[in-house]
Amino acid sequence: MQFTQNEEPDIKKPIIIAAMQDMGNVGSIVINFINKSLKSKPFRTAKVSFPTYVIDNGGYVDLPKESWEYRYTDDLIIFGGGNGQPQDNNELNLLCNDVIDIAEKYSAKFIYTLGGFHTNRILKNNPKTFITTTSMELKKQMEKLELDMTPQKSAITGFNGLILGFAKKHDIQGIGMYGELNQPEVPQYRAAISIIKTIEKLTYRKLGSTEELEILAQEIDKKFRN
């Protein structure tokens, strides 16, 4: 994994929101939305050292563009989005370690991560966001806010789960937010909207209008009805 620092942002004690592409593209949808809405600025890049696969375009191949940006605005650092996650466990761990290093460098108060929550429950247009945390004390605080906690014991794989383990190991408070979805292979814009509203509730800040995401969700609905 290669890391390049392009700028030294003047930020202290930020919140970090870090997530990568996962089922339903939920992680990328939310991260890309926040970056666009808040007009964040890039300051650091993470790039895989060696690709672990190629993309077959039907007769010819391309190398994947596997790199991700750290961006900032006000008291917020946003990491991830884009396409894919590291396929190599060693590089995934290096990436999580780097996020923790950045958190400690700027004295981050919190790490939020997010992704999809696959469920068989038939969803309407308002999927729930389930919460998990890095401590029992934090869980109790979330319950007081009447948020939905993850309903059962399970393994959360990939960056959007593992980063919480790294945060816990380094005594940084962390919260994972996972939006309900039925079809992991389809972009899940309403799951993303649900998570965005949850972030706003937890951070007491507006992230922008989600009207465009709702329009995209309606287009997906029409496609599958036809």
Map out the domains of the chain as residue ranges: 2-225
pLDDT (0 to 100) of residue 149:
92
Helix (H) or strand (E) holding 2: strand 2-5
* pTM, 2 dp: 0.91
Phi, psi of 209 (to 5 degrees): -70, 135
- Mean pLDDT over residues 125-145, rounded? 93
CATH classification for the domain delimited by 2-225, as one of 1.10.600.10, 3.90.1150.10, 3.40.50.10900, 1.20.120.1760: 3.40.50.10900
pLDDT exceeds 90 at position 157: no
Read off the pLDDT of residues 160-193 as tens digits, 9 standing for 90 and up: 999 999 999 999 999 999 999 988 888 999 999 9
Q: What angle do CA 20, 87, 103 make, to 5 degrees?
A: 45
Q: Which whole-number Å values give the CA distances from 169 to 82, 101, 133, in the listed order?
A: 27, 12, 13
pLDDT exceeds 90 at position 69: yes
> What DSSP character marks residue 39?
T
pLDDT exceeds 90 at position 86: no
pLDDT (0 to 100) of residue 153:
83
Q: Is 225 helix (H, G, I), strand (E, B) or coil?
A: helix
Binning pLDDT at 50, 70 and 90, where does residue 152 land? Answer: confident
Residue closest to 168 by CA, chosen among 75, 103, 74: 103
Q: What is the mean pLDDT of the chain?
A: 91
